[in-house]
């Protein structure tokens, strides 16, 4: 079998191979819109970084204030109420020492989570 050579008139070949000015304009408009969107998205991300850097220490202060409030309430309200109800001193002392132990561990572990980098174990 022989392959026949197909000839296309010059006018039709030129029409199909060259993009029209309208498609070029749409591509340029699309690229410009994508660049604008990308720039706006970068500015939004930069703004969120600043907001997070401001809110981070505020949330740390909030957490420590909640720890302090719970400890203050326990030692000024709960422990005296248990002593006023004639609870055994061993029970009240055990609960108070357990509360102190939990508070110290909570504050220590939270402070270490704040101060240390994530994924870096301490060197022994």
- Model pTM above 0.75: no
Q: Is the pLDDT of residue 11 over 70?
A: no
pLDDT digits (tens, 9 = 90+) for 32-88: 999 999 999 999 999 999 999 999 999 999 999 999 999 999 999 999 999 999 889
Q: Are 91 and 82 in contact (CB under 8 A)?
A: yes
Distances (CA, A) of 107 to 63, 64, 71, 93: 10, 8, 11, 21
Question: Distance between CA atoms of 94 and 100, rounded to whole angstroms?
Answer: 10
The predicted structure's pLDDT at residue 21: 87
């Amino acid at each position: 079998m022989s392959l026949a050579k197909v000839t296309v008139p010059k006018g039709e070949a030129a029409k199909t191979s060259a993009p029209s000015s309208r498609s070029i304009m749409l591509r340029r408009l699309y690229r410009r819109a994508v660049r604008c969107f990308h720039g706006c998205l970068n500015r939004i991300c930069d703004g969120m970084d600043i907001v997070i850097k401001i809110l981070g220490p505020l949330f740390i202060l909030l957490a420590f204030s909640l720890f302090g409030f719970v400890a203050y309430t326990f030692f000024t309200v709960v422990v005296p109420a248990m002593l006023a109800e004639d609870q055994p001193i061993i029970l009240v002392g055990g609960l108070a020492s357990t509360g102190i132990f939990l508070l110290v561990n909570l504050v220590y572990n939270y402070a270490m989570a704040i101060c240390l980098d994530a994924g870096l174990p301490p060197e022994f």
